[in-house]
Amino acid sequence: MAVEIHEDQPLVEPSVAWIRQFWAPMITQKTYTNSSFHPAIILNTENANATYLMPTDFTALVSLTIMFFCGNTGNKNIQVSIWFAGCGEAWNTHLGVQAFAVPLVNGIFYCLDLVPIFGALLANLVAGDLLWVELRNQSANAFQVYGVDGRYT
């Protein structure tokens, strides 16, 4: 039995904003080996980075979550930096930095949503901007940093 396809009819109501998702792996550049690593294993004072070009259908972030873990339990000090800009703008047009301690448990993934932390800054993010997220380890123990999970409308 043949079924008619009406391509001019949307699958959902036009006013419905679907949540979309992206994944940006975090890598680190080890200066002493001249190699990039994923997942990023960062020692004290080292950092992992992810970049993502915001798509044309982007309107607003719902969440922006870094996923990482440490091989030791305890409060670990990290610094997270976010910056973004579009073509024709300086790379640090929009910049935010926050340092804090996170309660990590040995071998358990920690998911840190950056939208509540950087909400005012991220409200300026628009389609076409290049987003850069950096996590810097400021603790004695190494971290494994996997990536950034972004959800947007």
In a domain, 14, yes or no: no
CATH number reported for the structural domain that contains residue 130 in this entry = 2.60.120.260
Q: Domain residues for 55? A: 20-152
Show the tokens assigned to 5.
Answer: 């396809």
Q: What's the domain count of the chain?
A: 1
Per the model's pLDDT, the better-predicted residue between 134 and 5 turns out to be: 134
Q: Is the pTM of this model over 0.85?
A: no
Each residue of 34-58: pLDDT tens digit?
566 668 888 888 899 999 999 999 9
The Cα 18–Cα 25 span in angstroms is: 23
The Cα 114–Cα 127 span in angstroms is: 18
